[in-house]
């Protein structure tokens, strides 16, 4: 029963197979959604049931440990949450719905394989499975061609970074004569002074910088967030980011304690935060703004990883969870307010406090959490990250990050202002939420605030998970 530890992966493969069969039958959007929802709930259950499983397959190339299982849990939750948003999948033609769910499942499967990969080739194959699913998901939206531009941009930049990464993997192999990550972790600290190993590791990281939308690999993000269907954008913004944070933590931990690597990462973190926040200041489209805010958050998350100490990795894991919760909440508002599947300009949020007080509160909690105002999970995540960075003595980095936080508060508070203070140009009807949608919204608010106030168990889980890395 050695293969039983692959429960979540096998399950999501089966989900993909179900939707593959559906895609061959007559299109039926309601059926697809209902089946997807049930399968997603089961998926969360299956994944959580296997959280404590441990073991390794294929000569250590595939490792199942707490670190990978925690992230698989997060990914299955992310999959479930995104499926929850699909009750009105208006941005995508009905005959494509089953393909949409199919690609969503394969993408989740790819990411699950990714977080368990302890071998460079497995890792690359899993990453490509994820990427190709996304390349197809992004242009799936029905529309006037904006989605095509986004899709092509995403594809071209994606394969370019993929090529860079492949080159990096080759360099790593050349320097260390192994493709096993656990062996690399033993050899690399001694080898990182050689240019080949150093550049190899850095280029390998590029593949995940791209997924995280870290400066200078961010150029796809605004277009994809805006051009893809709202649900797809929500998936790209939550699940793929979480995976990228996990993989960066895993790869950076191989070069533990290397100062040159830390310096490169510090530079990237500062550039990413500053660039993302400054450009976000002038955005008018809400999803586009979230894209730039994601670029900034890539920088914050990287601070935890580049601290290269247990608290830092744990803080990054915590932040991945926090980021999933708060970004999803913002996209929940996007999907519900723009229920016909259009893009949501910030001005269209005006009067939200009357149209739907619950969504307005959720939006406020979500953006304030992104802005790092306590008592939200976003603040606690930042606090943990800053503590870890301070343990390394990066005072200036923390100060720059805090200045960035204040800059970002300007555009976050403008969203709150629009939702609570401004009135729409013409009278808009109230937004009626179904009972499950109300429960989901309220649950997200509670998760964000409770996660901020009671970080104890989550942080302990994160610390236990990163033990597997070290």
Partner 1 sequence: MTMELASFPYLSSILLSCLLGLLAILLIPREQESLVKGVSLVFSGIALALSIYVYCAYDRALGGLQFVEKVRWVEPLGIHYFNGADGFNLPLILLTGIVHFTGVLTMWELRGRVKEFFAFAFVLVLGVFGFFMSMDLFFLFVWFDVSLFPMYPLIAIWGTTRKEYGALKLFLHVLAGSALVLPGIVYLGVASGLQTFDILALMQPGVLTPGQQRFAFFLFYFGFGILAGVWPFHTWSPVGHVAAPTSVSMIHAGVLMKVGAFGILRVGIFLCPLGWEFWAPVMAVLATIGIVYGVFVGLTQTDLKYVIAFSSVSHMGIVGLGLSTVTAEGLTGAVFQMFAHGIMTALLFSSLGYIYDKTHTKLMPDLGGMSRVMPVASGYFIVAALAGMGVPGFASFWAEVTVFISALKVYPLLGAFAICALVLSALYMLRVVQRTFYGQRNERYAHLPDVSFGLGLPRMILVAVMVLFGLFPRLMLDLIQTAVIPFMGGLPR
In this complex, which beta carbon is closest to partner 1, that of residue 27 or of residue 375?
375
Question: Is the separation of the CB atoms in 5 and 53 below 8 Å?
Answer: yes
Alpha-carbon Rg for the chain, nearest whole angstrom, is 21
Q: Rounded to the nearest whole angstrom, what is the least distance from the CB of residue 299 to partner 1 in the complex?
A: 16
Residues 6+ apart with CB under 8 A from 227: 138, 139, 141, 146, 147, 149, 150, 151
Partners of residue 170 on adjacent β-strands: none
Cα(418)–Cα(44) distance, integer angstroms: 36
Question: Is the separation of the CB atoms in 70 and 317 below 8 Å?
Answer: yes
Q: Rounded to the nearest whole angstrom, what is the least distance from the CB of residue 372 to partner 1 in the complex?
A: 9
Q: Rounded to the nearest whole angstrom, what is the least distance from the CB of residue 106 to partner 1 in the complex?
A: 37
Q: Rounded to the nearest whole angstrom, what is the least distance from the CB of residue 69 to partner 1 in the complex?
A: 21
Q: 54 by DSSP, 3-state: which?
A: coil
Q: Rounded to the nearest whole angstrom, what is the least distance from the CB of residue 430 to partner 1 in the complex?
A: 13
Biggest distance spanned by C-alpha atoms of the chain: 67
In this complex, which beta carbon is closest to partner 1, that of residue 314 or of residue 333?
314
Q: Select from 341, 239, 245, 347 the least CA-distant residue to 289.
A: 347
In this complex, which beta carbon is closest to partner 1, that of residue 254 or of residue 405?
405
In this complex, which beta carbon is closest to partner 1, that of residue 118 or of residue 302?
302
Q: Rounded to the nearest whole angstrom, what is the least distance from the CB of residue 427 to partner 1 in the complex?
A: 17
Residue 426 has phi, psi (to 5 degrees) of: -115, 155
Q: 57 by DSSP, 3-state: which?
A: strand
DSSP H or E stretch at residue 245: helix 230-252
In this complex, which beta carbon is closest to partner 1, that of residue 62 or of residue 379?
379
Q: Rounded to the nearest whole angstrom, what is the least distance from the CB of residue 425 to partner 1 in the complex?
A: 18
Residues 6+ apart with CB under 8 A from 216: 271
DSSP H or E stretch at residue 62: strand 62-64
Residue 315 has phi, psi (to 5 degrees) of: -65, -40
In this complex, which beta carbon is closest to partner 1, that of residue 5 or of residue 384?
384
**Can you read off the two tokens belonging to residue 192?**
């990182």
Letter string b/e over residues 319-346, b meaning 16 or more CB atoms within 10 A of that residue's CB: bbbbbbbbbbbbbbbbbbbbeebebbbb
Q: Rounded to the nearest whole angstrom, what is the least distance from the CB of residue 457 to partner 1 in the complex?
A: 10
Residues 6+ apart with CB under 8 A from 469: 67, 249, 250, 253, 313
Question: Is the separation of the CB atoms in 242 and 78 below 8 Å?
Answer: yes
In this complex, which beta carbon is closest to partner 1, that of residue 168 or of residue 371?
371
Q: 345 by DSSP, 3-state: which?
A: strand
Q: Rounded to the nearest whole angstrom, what is the least distance from the CB of residue 405 to partner 1 in the complex?
A: 6
Q: Rounded to the nearest whole angstrom, what is the least distance from the CB of residue 420 to partner 1 in the complex?
A: 6
Q: Rounded to the nearest whole angstrom, what is the least distance from the CB of residue 463 to partner 1 in the complex?
A: 6
In this complex, which beta carbon is closest to partner 1, that of residue 66 or of residue 244?
66
What are the Cα distances from residue 360, in Å, to 329, 367, 441? 11, 11, 10
In this complex, which beta carbon is closest to partner 1, that of residue 216 or of residue 393?
393
What residue ranges bind partner 1 (CB under 8 A)? Answer: 311, 353, 357, 368, 373-375, 379, 383-384, 386-387, 390-391, 395, 398-399, 402-403, 405-406, 409-410, 413, 416-417, 420-421, 452-453, 455-456, 459-460, 463
Cα(467)–Cα(470) distance, integer angstroms: 5
In this complex, which beta carbon is closest to partner 1, that of residue 135 or of residue 318?
318
In this complex, which beta carbon is closest to partner 1, that of residue 45 or of residue 399?
399
How many Cβ atoms from other residues are within 10 Å of residue 10's Cβ? 14
């Amino acid at each position: 029963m050695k293969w039983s530890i692959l429960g979540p992966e096998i399950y999501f493969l089966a989900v993909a197979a179900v939707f593959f069969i559906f895609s061959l039958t007559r299109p039926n959007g309601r059926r697809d959604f209902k089946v997807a929802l049930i399968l997603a709930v089961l998926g969360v259950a299956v994944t959580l049931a296997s959280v404590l499983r441990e073991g390794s397959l294929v000569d250590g190339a595939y490792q199942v440990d707490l670190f990978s299982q925690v992230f698989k849990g997060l990914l299955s939750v992310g999959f479930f949450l995104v499926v929850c948003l699909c009750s009105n999948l208006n941005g995508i033609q009905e005959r494509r719905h089953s393909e949409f769910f199919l690609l969503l499942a394969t993408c989740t499967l790819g990411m699950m394989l990714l977080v368990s990969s302890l071998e460079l080739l497995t890792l690359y194959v899993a990453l490509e499975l994820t990427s190709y699913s996304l390349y197809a998901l992004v242009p799936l939206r029905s529309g006037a061609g904006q989605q095509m531009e986004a899709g092509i941009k995403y594809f071209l930049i994606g394969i370019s970074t993929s090529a860079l990464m492949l080159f990096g993997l080759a360099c790593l192999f050349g320097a260390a004569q192994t493709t096993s990550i656990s062996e690399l972790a033993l050899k690399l600290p001694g080898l990182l002074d050689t240019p080949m190993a150093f550049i190899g590791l850095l280029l390998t990281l590029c593949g995940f910088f791209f997924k995280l939308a870290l400066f200078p690999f961010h150029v796809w993000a605004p277009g994809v967030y805006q051009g893809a269907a709202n649900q797809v954008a929500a998936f790209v913004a939550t699940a793929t980011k979480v995976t990228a944070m996990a993989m960066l933590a895993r790869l950076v931990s191989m070069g533990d304690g290397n100062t040159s690597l830390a310096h490169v990462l510090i530079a990237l973190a500062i550039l990413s935060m500053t660039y993302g926040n400054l450009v976000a200041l002038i955005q008018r489209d809400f999803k586009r703004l979230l894209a730039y805010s994601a670029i900034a958050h890539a920088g914050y998350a990287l601070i935890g990883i580049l601290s290269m100490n247990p608290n830092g990795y744990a803080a990054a894991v915590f932040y991945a969870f926090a980021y999933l919760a708060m970004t999803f909440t913002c996209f929940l508002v996007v999907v519900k307010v723009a229920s016909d599947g259009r893009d949501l300009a910030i001005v269209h949020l005006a009067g939200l406090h009357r149209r739907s007080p619950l969504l307005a509160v959720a939006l406020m909690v979500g953006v304030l959490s992104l802005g790092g105002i306590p008592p939200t999970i976003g603040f606690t995540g930042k606090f943990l990250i800053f503590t870890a960075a301070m343990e390394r003595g990066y005072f200036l980095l923390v100060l720059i990050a805090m200045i960035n936080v204040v800059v970002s508060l300007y555009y976050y508070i403008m969203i709150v202002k629009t939702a609570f203070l401004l009135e729409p140009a013409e009278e808009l009807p109230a937004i009626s939420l179904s009972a499950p949608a109300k429960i989901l919204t309220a649950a997200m608010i509670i998760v964000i605030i409770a996660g901020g106030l009671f970080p104890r168990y989550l942080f302990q889980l994160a610390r236990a998970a990163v033990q597997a890395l070290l």
